Amino acid sequence: GAAHAAAGIEVNQLGFLPAAQKLAVVPAGANERFKVVDAGSGKTVFEGTLGPAATWDASGERVRIADFSGLRTAGSYRVAVAGQPDSPVFAIGAEPYRALDAGAIHAYTLNRASIALDARVAGPYARPLGHPDDKVLVHESAASAKRPAGTVISSPKGWYDAGDYNKYIVNSGISTYTLLAAYEHFPAWFDKLAVNVPESGNGVPDLLNEVQWNLDWMITMQDPDDGGVYHKLTNKSFDGMVMPDRATAPRYVVQKTTTAALDFAAVMATASRVLAPFDAKAPGRSQRYLAAAERAWRWAVDHPAVLYRQPADIQTGTYGDEKVDDEFSWAAAELYIATGKDEYRSRALAQAAGVQTEPGWSDVRPLGWISLAQQRARLKNPADGDVARTHILAAADTLLARWQASPARLSLAKSDFVWGSNAVLLNQAMMLVQAYRLTNKADYLNAAQSALDYTLGRNPLGISYVTGFGTRSTLHPHHRPSEADGIAAPVPGWLAGGPNPGQQDAKDCKDVSYASKQPALSYLDHGCSYASNEIAINWNAPLVYVAAALQALQR
Ligand code: 9MR
């Protein structure tokens, strides 16, 4: 089932908290009025007038907004407009995103390397251990005097990055940080969010247990001799579409880079802060992480421009990034919070050029702002938090203006439909949430709600881009276990990358083709489509964050 038909009335298929702004997007037609009807009885429970018709430049479609925010009664409903099919069913209730948030975290559990997953943890997705990664070779690009090429090191655990089975420090950076930030900002929500992880019941919140699995891997990626950090742990080329235990090609650590060292430093400094309250179970952990962070920082200062250059014999993902000033800024922010040292402070506060609306794996500066604004009380000079606040509000106001002007009520610009567009949007939502936490201005949260709504079905394809969630969701993600496990349903809880008019995979999608080149329609629900339908740890992380934020902040 490659192409999805036009959506009709588009709505978040999971639904809303009672206090949320509630919008549907309706194809513009003759009618001015809409109704919300009870899904069981068909009775009308709300009526309203549609907003003005306008063409959304990213889809080419003329749409109108139905605003039923005034409906606050718990129940199951549809949006109805005369002459059009009703919307999918959605709910209004106290916890529309609990299962989603737990599922989005559990997806990481199911993507763990170096572990057998039994049915107690994985249900039908139980599988044998893959990638022990206890005998990893140092690639010649990563060789040093004490670890010449071919040296065998142990680097187990961590998450598979995405639909492939490799492990990349740069992408682990933003992913792990975002999950730690989710806990740091909404601890009460996550303390009560049960996720079925192998460590459940050990007294540590399940989200943090899951994060620990990746930290355990990341810490092994630091060369003990010089503090540098390997860029990735990878096969020479991508595996076939097989289960993890069938993928047994040799694994290598490849090159040390400035970006890997700084992303590592930022995550370890953050983890030393966020996990400190749980150190009784892991004595000395915070000190170890902070020491590792400072060593990686020092390596980066000594090697400030070592960019990733893919060796000729390696073909897997690159996460290459030609600019490292944002990585310096983010790592410095986390290290300044941890130590108060002036060296870090000046790099943390160094001016950025222009407004940066959202973080991404290669644009991590906003992550430092988030931490500085959150940790104002701990800063040696609390007024430094104001600098971060100014950057966050500048980003959020740019996004808010776009959201207000958008016929589809989205903060996404047409040019934001890139590889992983769904996560661009959710990272924007994460920034909007920061602005809301700083100001309590409702529209910031409303714009974040719109972003989650879009990923859960309020989009021109009428599809929930989260596997297993919503009445009509992504079925064929580019994800090796989902393709190879013999189970019809995809592994649940993963956000698909989403519409991407770049269509870089068209050559590999032989028998199917994209239905459209329109940015918001350029999506292919087929396993071949790594450019629009892969899943990835950095895309799920803002989903975990935003779902938690909307639950925690709209009570
Ligand atoms: O998310 C990455 C995206 O920003 C890049 O445009 C794309 C092509 O370089 O690569 C994406 O990352 C992929 C990584 O290289 C390998 N694992 C799967 C990732 C998601 O597709």
Cβ of 477 below 6 Å from ligand 1: no
Contact 365, 330 (CB under 8 A): yes
DSSP state letter for 127: B
Check residue 6 and give its pLDDT: 58
Distance 413 CA to ligand 1 centre (A): 20
Nearest-5° angle of CA 139, CA 143, CA 144? Answer: 165
Look at residue 106 and give its three-state secondary structure. Answer: helix
Check residue 206 and give its pLDDT: 98
525 classed as catalytic: yes
Alpha-carbon gap, residue 86 to 444, rounded angstroms: 29
Beta-strand pair 15-16/90-92: parallel
Check residue 223 and give its pLDDT: 98
* Closest Cα to atom 14 of ligand 1: 317
534 classed as catalytic: yes
- Which atom from ligand 1 is nearest to the alpha carbon of 502? 6
Cβ of 505 below 6 Å from ligand 1: no
Ligand 1 pocket: which of 168, 169, 171 to mutate (most atoms <8 Å of CB)? Answer: 171
Alpha-carbon distance values, 509 to 219, 240, 496, 531, 545 (Å): 38, 15, 17, 11, 33
Ligand 1 pocket: which of 426, 534, 535, 537 to mutate (most atoms <8 Å of CB)? Answer: 534
- Which residues neighbour 291 within 8 Å (Cβ) at sequence distance 6 or greater? none
Contact 427, 358 (CB under 8 A): yes
Alpha-carbon gap, residue 266 to 344, rounded angstroms: 11
Nearest to 160 by CA among 239, 261, 265: 239
Q: Per residue of the chain (555 residues), what is the pLDDT tens digit?
A: 333 445 699 999 999 999 999 999 999 998 999 999 999 999 999 999 999 999 999 999 999 999 999 999 999 999 999 999 999 999 999 999 999 999 999 999 999 999 999 999 999 999 999 999 999 999 999 999 999 999 999 999 999 999 999 999 999 999 999 999 999 999 999 999 999 999 999 999 999 999 999 999 999 999 999 999 999 999 999 999 999 999 999 999 999 999 999 999 999 999 999 999 999 989 999 999 999 999 999 999 999 999 999 999 999 999 999 999 999 999 999 999 999 999 999 999 987 778 899 999 999 999 999 999 999 999 989 999 999 999 999 999 999 999 999 999 999 999 999 999 999 999 999 999 999 999 999 999 999 999 999 999 999 999 999 999 999 999 999 999 999 999 999 999 999 999 999 999 999 998 899 989 999 999 999 999 999 999 999 999 999 999 999 999 998
- Joined tokens for residue 481: 């276990």
Alpha-carbon gap, residue 527 to 287, rounded angstroms: 43
Distance 319 CA to ligand 1 centre (A): 7
Alpha-carbon gap, residue 500 to 418, rounded angstroms: 5
The residue to which tokens 């959710």 are assigned: 426
Distance 171 CA to ligand 1 centre (A): 9
- Which atom from ligand 1 is nearest to the alpha carbon of 360? 4
Cβ of 419 below 6 Å from ligand 1: yes
Distance 311 CA to ligand 1 centre (A): 17
| Domains in the chain: ranges and CATH | 128-382 (1.50.10.10)
